[in-house]
């Protein structure tokens, strides 16, 4: 029985993780979970796993929960997340938090010797080198949940030789066929309507701006120790080929499947074994019209920025992430336009000082710099 801690249990990845766990009650149990402010979700999960420690957003929420369920073990806030990430009885941490908030629990878990199944890509964007140094220092294990990186991870299993190239696929998001001119008037509702994947709001907006792919380029660098010239991105509208790996002998491996995050989640829990999973089956018939198109870097300038950042080891990627979090929240609130998001992030990254990230505090400083510069940039916006 593997004992799982799940951070971000009420989000899209969190819900899919819970579905995977409930398909294998003999193999997995939940010993702790966090839901931020979604108390309704916490109640449901608590009823199913009454012994699992619950982490809520703040003291008030945790006291209310405790009143309703006196036998529950409740923690809260960042300290609660860190308690869960380092829990004695945890065999694997699934980090499905959104944003920079995921970094500290990741570092704490690695230090405590817990393997981390990572869905929180912002962790690697903001502090990839720091995470890598923790993994080396504490001989940690990190397994990607992001579908593209899970695909690469799966392709690399069994190979004793280095890869030549990683080819990430990109659906292109909700607005892949719109010009930048046409993006000026798009609405939040349109942006949240992803053609293939059903996901949370933040990542769906990040997919529409292609910020998500920019993050995945940086994520690939740290997960697979890939150089700039070893990473490529192609538009693949169907989201069936989740990514490809080219080897020295010119063999190319790919992992295919329907767009269902339960597959990479379960593989992160069972790797290198494969277990049955109830989900839609990919048929050959569904692969008859797979297409791949080169990326237009003028249309998606944020991808050019991501490639530029690959050759730098500094705070700029953390600035990019912090600035983006603020811009996406502003767009969802209706206080900036969709086209402002990536343009402002590019401007902020250009403007920001850069420095090396050796500690969590360095990463936090860069994150806050990105947030502040974006708040300043947004002041001038009239929607
Ligand atoms: Mg992805």
For the stretch 85-99, pLDDT in tens is 999 999 999 999 999
Cis amide leading into 272 (omega within 30)? yes
pLDDT digits over 116-165, tens only? 999 999 999 999 999 999 999 999 999 999 999 999 999 999 899 999 99
Give 360 Cα–ligand 1 centroid separation in angstroms: 25
What is the full DSSP assignment across 180-200? TTGGGG--HHHHT--SS----
What is the CB neighbour count within 10 angstroms for residue 319?
Answer: 30
Whole-angstrom distance, CA of residue 14 vs CA of residue 5: 11
CB 349 within 8 A of CB 323: yes
Cα 212 to ligand 1 centre (Å): 7
Q: What is the spatial distance between Cα 269 and Cα 119, in angstroms, rounded to a whole number? A: 12
Is the pLDDT assigned to residue 44 strictly greater than 70? yes
Q: What is the pLDDT of residue 200?
A: 87
For residue 148, the CA-to-ligand 1 centroid distance in Å is 5
Residue-wise over 190-228: b if at least 16 C-beta within 10 A, else e?
ebbebbbbebbbbbbbbbbbbbbbbbbbbbbbbbbebee
Which pLDDT score, from 0 to 100, does residue 383 have?
76
pLDDT band at 199 (very low <50, low <70, confident <90, very high): confident
**Mean pLDDT in residue range 177-195:** 92
34 Cα: distance to centroid of ligand 1 (angstroms): 22
DSSP state of 91: S
Dist. CA 203 → ligand 1 center (Å): 9
Q: Say whether 255 sits in a helix, a strand or coil.
A: strand
Cα of 126 vs centre of ligand 1, distance in Å, is 17
Q: What is the pLDDT of residue 298?
A: 95
Instruction: Kindly give the distance from the C-alpha atom of residue 242 to the centroid of ligand 1, in angstroms, as a whole number.
Output: 8
235 CA from centroid of ligand 1 (Å):
13
The per-residue pLDDT for 232 is 98
Average pLDDT for the chain? 96
More confident residue, 29 or 36: 29
Which one-letter DSSP state was computed for residue 139? T
pLDDT band at 12 (very low <50, low <70, confident <90, very high): very high
Q: What is the pLDDT of residue 265?
A: 98
Burial 61-86 (b: 16+ CB within 10 A, else e): bbeebeeebeebebbbbeebbbbbbb
Q: How many CB atoms lie within 10 A of CB 133?
A: 16
pLDDT tier for residue 311 given thresholds of 50, 70 and 90 = confident
d(CA 262, ligand 1 centre) in Å: 13
Output the pTM of the full model.
0.95
pLDDT at 196: 86
Q: How far is the CA of 171 from the centre of ligand 1 (A)?
A: 9
> How far lies 52's CA from each of 72, 92, 270, in Å?
8, 14, 21
From the CA of 221, how far away is ligand 1's center (Å)? 14
C-alpha 68 – ligand 1 centre gap (Å): 38
> Which of 320-352 are b and which e, b meaning 16 or more Cβ less than 10 Å from the residue's Cβ?
bbbbbbbbbbbbeeeebbbbbbbbbbbebbeeb
Q: Provide the pLDDT for residue 313.
A: 66
- pLDDT at residue 342 tops 70: yes
381, pLDDT greater than 90: no
Q: What secondary structure letter does DSSP report for 169?
A: E
pLDDT bracket for residue 221 (50, 70, 90): very high
Q: What is the rounded average pLDDT of the residues 59-86?
A: 97
């Amino acid at each position: 029985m593997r004992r799982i801690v799940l951070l971000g249990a009420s989000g899209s990845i969190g819900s899919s993780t819970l579905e995977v766990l409930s398909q294998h009650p003999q193999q997995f149990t939940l010993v702790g979970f966090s839901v931020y402010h979604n108390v309704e979700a916490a109640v449901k999960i608590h009823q199913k796993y009454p012994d699992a420690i619950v982490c809520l957003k703040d003291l008030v929420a945790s006291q209310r929960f405790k009143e309703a369920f006196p036998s529950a073990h409740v923690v809260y806030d960042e300290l609660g997340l860190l308690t869960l990430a380092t829990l004695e009885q945890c065999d694997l941490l699934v980090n499905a938090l959104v944003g920079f908030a995921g970094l500290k629990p990741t570092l704490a878990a690695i230090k405590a010797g817990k393997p981390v199944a990572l869905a929180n890509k912002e962790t690697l964007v903001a502090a990839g080198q720091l995470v890598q140094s923790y993994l080396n220092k504490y001989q940690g294990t990190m397994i990607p949940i992001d579908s593209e990186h899970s695909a690469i991870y799966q392709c690399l299993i069994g190979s004793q030789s280095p890869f030549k190239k990683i080819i990430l696929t990109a659906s292109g998001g909700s607005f892949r066929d719109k010009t930048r001119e046409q993006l000026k008037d798009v609405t939040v509702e349109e942006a949240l309507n992803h053609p293939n994947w059903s996901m949370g709001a933040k990542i769906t907006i990040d997919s529409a701006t292609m910020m998500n792919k920019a993050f995945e380029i940086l994520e690939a660098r740290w997960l697979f120790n890939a150089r700039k010239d070893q990473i490529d991105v192609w538009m693949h509208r169907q989201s069936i080929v989740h990514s490809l790996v080219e080897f020295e002998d010119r063999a190319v491996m790919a992992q295919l499947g329907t767009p269902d995050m339960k597959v990479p989640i379960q593989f992160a829990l069972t790797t290198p074994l494969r277990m049955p999973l109830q989900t839609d089956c990919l048929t050959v018939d569904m692969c008859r019209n797979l297409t791949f198109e080169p990326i237009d870097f003028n249309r998606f300038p944020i991808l050019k920025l991501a490639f530029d950042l690959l050759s730098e080891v500094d705070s700029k990627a953390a600035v990019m992430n912090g600035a983006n979090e603020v811009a996406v929240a502003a767009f969802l609130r209706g206080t900036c336009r969709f086209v402002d998001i990536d343009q402002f992030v590019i401007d902020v990254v250009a403007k920001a000082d850069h420095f090396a990230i050796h500690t969590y505090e360095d990463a936090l400083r860069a994150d806050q710099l990105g947030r502040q510069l974006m708040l300043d940039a947004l002041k001038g916006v009239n929607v």
